Amino acid sequence: MKLLVLSNNYPSPDNPNRGVFVYNLVQEFCKLGCQVTVIAPRKPFILKSKGKASSYGKERAVVFRPNFLSASAKSVFGFNTYRISEFLQVKAISSCIRKNKIEFDVAYAHFLNNGLIGVKALERNGKPIFVALGESNLDERIKLYSKTFLQKNLSKISGFITVGPQLSRRLEELNVPPSKIELIPNAVDHRIFYPHDKEKMRRKFGLPKNLKLLIFVGRFTWHKGPGRIIEAIAQLNDVGIILVGSGKEEYKSDKIVFQNRVPSSQVPELLSAADVFVLPTLREGCSNAIVEAMACGLPVISSDIEEVRVQCKQSYSILVDPLNIKELEKAISRIIYDDNLLDKMSSQALKDSVNYDLQKRANSILNFVKKSISEFNHKVAQDCS
């Protein structure tokens, strides 16, 4: 199968950490025998990631990164300027396909905005397009479009892969037939994410040996909640926190033992250096960070919201009100000071992580795509007979 992947969230030498989860899935498609071409539109003036990394890993796909001018996403007299950026991305993708004579059987777009851009960019190609939905802010993106535009273009998409039941329901509310929707949760590459030696990893990153360490991995934003973790452990003894990521917020506390963005290859090493993973998030699609923490054998403390409940079992997680600092503190105290409970929950997290395997996920997506195309072709043949 010749697969065209559309994603404006894909790593590059300038930004090797951007969209790593999309890159990992693409590599699995390639390993499973697909000929994959990626078109990753990018703004011509982008800030490079900090650090010395200039490579995001071995690339098995053919990748094109056409430039487009961004008009940001601001509302002006009821019109959102994002639609201008969208139009320019459509032109960039169409031009890239023509210029490079790209041939493909199926298009696969990551996130709704790329899917709707793909519908416009590929309408002359007559090829089926599938869209993966994993965004936590889907309703915010939907507001960018009129109801008529949205339903007209959603109907042109052959199938949707969602990572959580809440996203599947939202599509049905937008009149997408259930037969076009397949729920396939996010997954992890167990060849990359697995428990490393804890003492060795602490030495590598200069982390204290005498503390119990929590770890947060994600964007430094209010809705993800690293600041709430710091507040929750302020009065706890012998506890530190590793903050992996970057964002609008910066944190200061004597509890912080590490705070930085790192190459994706170092994330499993830092996870292995910690004792418990904490994510008091307000919303998710399906958290890659939770699955990665499980694969490294970490108990999980996260939010009592549907998106997280479907990922985490009680045997290795405690779910709390993400805005309740006292409840968060109590959950951390319950696990962090009980070595027997830590070991038991760690073992259960590792055991359950095998259900979130990236190769299996890639296979499931391809099988859904092939099945949908086969059923469509059969229907067309019946209509023509």
Enumerate residues 6+ apart whose C-beta is below 8 A from 172: 178, 181
Distances, alpha carbon 18 to alpha carbons 24, 63, 112, 170, 333, in Å: 11, 15, 18, 27, 34
When comparing pLDDT for 143 and 320, which is higher?
A: 320
Q: 277: helix, coil or strand?
A: strand
State which of 82-86, 225-229, 263-267 shows the largest mean pLDDT: 225-229
Decide: residue 239, CB within 10 A, 0-12 exposed, 13-18 middle, 19+ buried.
Answer: buried
pLDDT > 60? residue 32: yes
- Mean pLDDT computed over 227-249: 96
Q: What is the DSSP letter of 188?
A: B
Q: Per residue in 349-379, pLDDT tens?
A: 999 999 999 999 999 999 999 998 887 676 6
- Map out the domains of the chain as residue ranges: 2-187+358-384, 198-355
Q: What is the DSSP letter of 136?
A: T
Distances, alpha carbon 279 to alpha carbons 52, 276, 372, in Å: 28, 10, 36
* Fold match, 2-187+358-384 / 198-355: yes
Distances, alpha carbon 142 to alpha carbons 181, 195, 259, in Å: 17, 39, 34
Which is the CATH superfamily of the domain at 2-187+358-384?
Glycogen Phosphorylase B; (3.40.50.2000)
The owner of tokens 């019109």 is 79
Q: Per residue in 6-21, pLDDT tens?
A: 999 999 988 888 899 9
Give CA–CA dist 260/121, Å, rounded.
38
Find the range with the poorest average confidence among 64-73, 84-93, 245-254: 64-73
Give CA–CA dist 200/296, Å, rounded.
15
- Mean pLDDT computed over 305-318: 95
- Residue 267 pairs in a beta bridge with none
Q: Could you tell me how many residues make up the chain?
A: 385
Give CA–CA dist 302/224, Å, rounded.
10
Q: 300: helix, coil or strand?
A: strand
When comparing pLDDT for 263 and 271, which is higher?
A: 271
What's the pLDDT at 378? 65
Q: What is the DSSP letter of 210?
A: S
Does residue 154 contact residue 141 with C-beta atoms inside 8 Å?
no
When comparing pLDDT for 50 and 137, which is higher?
A: 137
Give CA–CA dist 95/87, Å, rounded.
12
Does residue 241 contact residue 214 with C-beta atoms inside 8 Å?
yes
pLDDT > 90? residue 324: yes
- Mean pLDDT computed over 343-350: 98
What's the pLDDT at 57? 86
What's the pLDDT at 137? 84
pLDDT band, very low/low/confident/very high, at 53 (cuts 50, 70, 90):
very low
* Phi, psi for residue 159 in degrees, rounded to 5: -170, 160
Q: How many CB atoms are located within 10 Å of the residue 190 CB?
A: 14
Predicted TM-score (pTM) of the model is 0.89
The owner of tokens 């409940």 is 309
Q: In CATH, what is the architecture of 198-355?
A: 3-Layer(aba) Sandwich (3.40)
